[in-house]
Amino acid sequence: MVAPTRAHATGRDHQIQLLQGTQELFPALIAEMDAALSDIQFETYIFDCTGAGADVAEALMRAARRGVRVHLALDGVGTGRLPEPWRTRMVQAGVHVQVYSPLGPLGLLLPMRWRRLHRKLCVVDGCVLYCGGINVLDDFHDPNHGALTAPRFDFAVRAEGSLVQQASETMEQLWWRMRAVRDVRQRRLSLALADLRAASAARLAARRAESRARGMRAELVLRDNVRNRARIERAYLRAIARARHEVIIANAYFVPGGKLRRALVLAARRGVRVQLLLQGRYEYFMQYHAARPVYGTLLAAGVEIHEYAPSFLHAKVAVIDADSRRAWATVGSSNLDPLSLLLAREANVIVRDAPFAQDLRKRLRHAMAHEGRQLDPQRYAERPWRERALDRIAFGIMRAALWVTGNRY
């Protein structure tokens, strides 16, 4: 594994460190939590206390016991209620836990429940931000598939600078909104109004932080269902349109919409080398099969598709023109699929810094060369009819689900 590097993304303002997998992220995160003095804000889609995940849980409890304010927000689908005895232990230690959008009796039958908290953010003492695609989930464990023989392939960043304040205030805003919803359900209206006022104040502070961050060489880009519906997708589209030499994207659940597909095809046709590192192992029916109908158009345009083989690919990263002054890279939680780009709350850090981009590029090219299988266009065209039928069924289900939500993709 390549050693992590620290790069100054915007001169004096930001420091961004690339971290690969839980083996690099968790020790850094736990050390930060053990040094926390006042405040830990934590959001994640999955919080699994198996293996190394338990170490993160213990660090949160240690911090809470010594008086640090610990806010832990979990998604109602990815995690739901923490299993016992972990939930009881956390509450007794003083960890404040909230579940984002619990499913309720009808579960995912309600389209409104498809809007999930998918971002992975942690801010410690308002000074340090961790952001990426890595859940609290041991790299050698999968809740559905059991023990893994090779680690999950994923990335995160550790960031310092003005984007940390934006992340903190965004998380604070969501926390108080969740509190307000809970209070309304419990008919505590006065508390709900107080929580909404706190959320409004956090929103105004986040806007001020965002305005200060514009023009800098590292930024936090959010996707939500209010003000930031298309920011992450637009960031990808702009970066791909400006590419001159190379585009490398590693994405776990890759079902790009028409705009992204056209951007990749046009880049390849104007001579840019476009390489995709995608999921090679079967994980879920929809994510595996719905992606494959879009491969044909990309392969025909000269896009290279590599499928990651040793374990599950969970990365959501990209690097463009790493060796130029226009180097661009992103690490975050957003897949390039409808759930991430149209429905979920997501967070990516964008870094415009050549050393950082070169580090990420080196890791991705190593994975493609040594741990991936390049998809042959002819072999793709000749895949068995049963496989093609499953691909079309999955793609059709996805399109029908989007029609139900009223979204066009």
| pLDDT digit string, tens, across residues 316-325 | 999 999 999 9
Q: Are 375 and 306 in contact, with CB atoms under 8 Å apart? A: yes
Look at residue 251 and tell me whether its pLDDT is greater than 80.
yes
CATH number for the segment(s) 6-222 = 3.30.870.10
Nearest CA to 111 out of 120, 124, 101, 119 is that of 101
Locate the domains of the chain by residue range. Answer: 6-222, 242-405
Look at residue 5 and tell me whether its pLDDT is greater than 50.
no
Nearest CA to 69 out of 172, 208, 142 is that of 172
pLDDT value, residue 111: 86
Least confident range from 117-121, 280-284, 336-340: namely 280-284
> Residue 247 pairs with which residues in a beta bridge?
274, 320
Look at residue 216 and tell me whether its pLDDT is greater than 70.
no
At a CB cut-off of 8 Å and minimum separation 6, what does 80 contact? 74, 99, 102, 103
Look at residue 7 and tell me whether its pLDDT is greater than 50.
no
Alpha carbons 282 and 364: distance in angstroms, whole number: 21
**What's the chain's average pLDDT?**
90
User: Given CA atoms 384, 389, 392, 393 in this order, what sign does their dihedral have?
Assistant: negative
In this prediction the pTM is: 0.90
Least confident range from 9-23, 134-148, 237-251: namely 9-23
Give 207's pLDDT tier (boundaries 50, 70, 90). very low
Mean pLDDT over 270-276 rounds to: 98
Its CATH architecture, for the domain 242-405, is 2-Layer Sandwich (3.30)
Segment 118-171, tens digit of pLDDT? 999 999 999 999 999 999 999 999 999 999 999 999 999 999 999 999 999 999
On the question of a common fold for 6-222 and 242-405, the answer reads: yes
Alpha carbons 318 and 334: distance in angstroms, whole number: 11
Catalytic residues: 118, 120, 125, 314, 316, 321
Give 105's pLDDT tier (boundaries 50, 70, 90). confident
Report the DSSP pairing between strands 304-308 and 273-279: parallel
Q: What length does the chain have?
A: 409
